[in-house]
Amino acid sequence: MKNLDGDILIRYETPRDYEYITQINNAAFGQKNEGLLVENLRKTVLFNPRLSLVAEYKSSLIGHILFYPIKIKNDSLEFNSLALAPMSVLPEYQNKGVGGGLIRQGLKTAGELGFKSVIVLGHAQYYPKFGFEPASRWKIKPPFPVEDKYFMAQELVPGALKNTGGVVEYPVEFNEV
């Protein structure tokens, strides 16, 4: 990692991390919505702790990323995918490659668990560095109005998003915070 004196460990969450994950989200976003979203999603059956990764530095948690199962639906078909959301790095550790490490490890784990694609809503300058492209390329749309460039997707298996055009359905927990 750039500018960090020592190694960053990226691993999946355990119960003793819960409160720190909430704190990292609160600090990174400057509000409580995302931390609460993670807490609420954790109570659902589709939540997989192996897709809730933390970055540990000198025995402290400094970053977190969650991937949560979603569906892309059209009039006749539905496809399984994963949403990357939320992700957070403590402000004092940002721009040191921690977020990139979390994304790369998360994408690798998602592929190993059999997921074939990932969707993300977020910074248009950031996520393309990790292989994301506007989801409009595959005619995949968000369930809310947002500029094309912010709503992105990537295939973990080549061709996985071919003919999956439709609207992404997020779990209700995303609307509640």
Nearer to ligand COA, 88 or 164 (CB): 88
CB of 89 to ligand COA, least distance (A): 4
Q: Give residues 135-164 in contact with ligand COA (rule: CB under 6 A).
A: none
CB of 47 to ligand COA, least distance (A): 19
User: Considering the rule CB under 6 A, would residue 83 count as an interface residue with ligand COA?
Assistant: no
Q: What is the 3-state secondary structure (H, E, C) of the chain?
A: CCCCCCCEEEEECCHHHHHHHHHHHHHHHCCCHHHHHHHHHHCCCCCCHHHEEEEEECCEEEEEEEEEEEEEECCCCEEEEEEEEEEEECHHHCCCCHHHHHHHHHHHHHHHCCCCEEEEECCCCCHHHHCCEEHHHHCEECCCCCCHHHEEEEECCCCCCCCCCEEEECCCHHHHC
CB of 79 to ligand COA, least distance (A): 23
Nearer to ligand COA, 137 or 149 (CB): 149
Count residues contacting ligand COA (CB under 6 A)?
A: 16
Chain residues in the site for ligand COA (CB under 6 A): 28-29, 87-89, 94-100, 122-123, 125-126
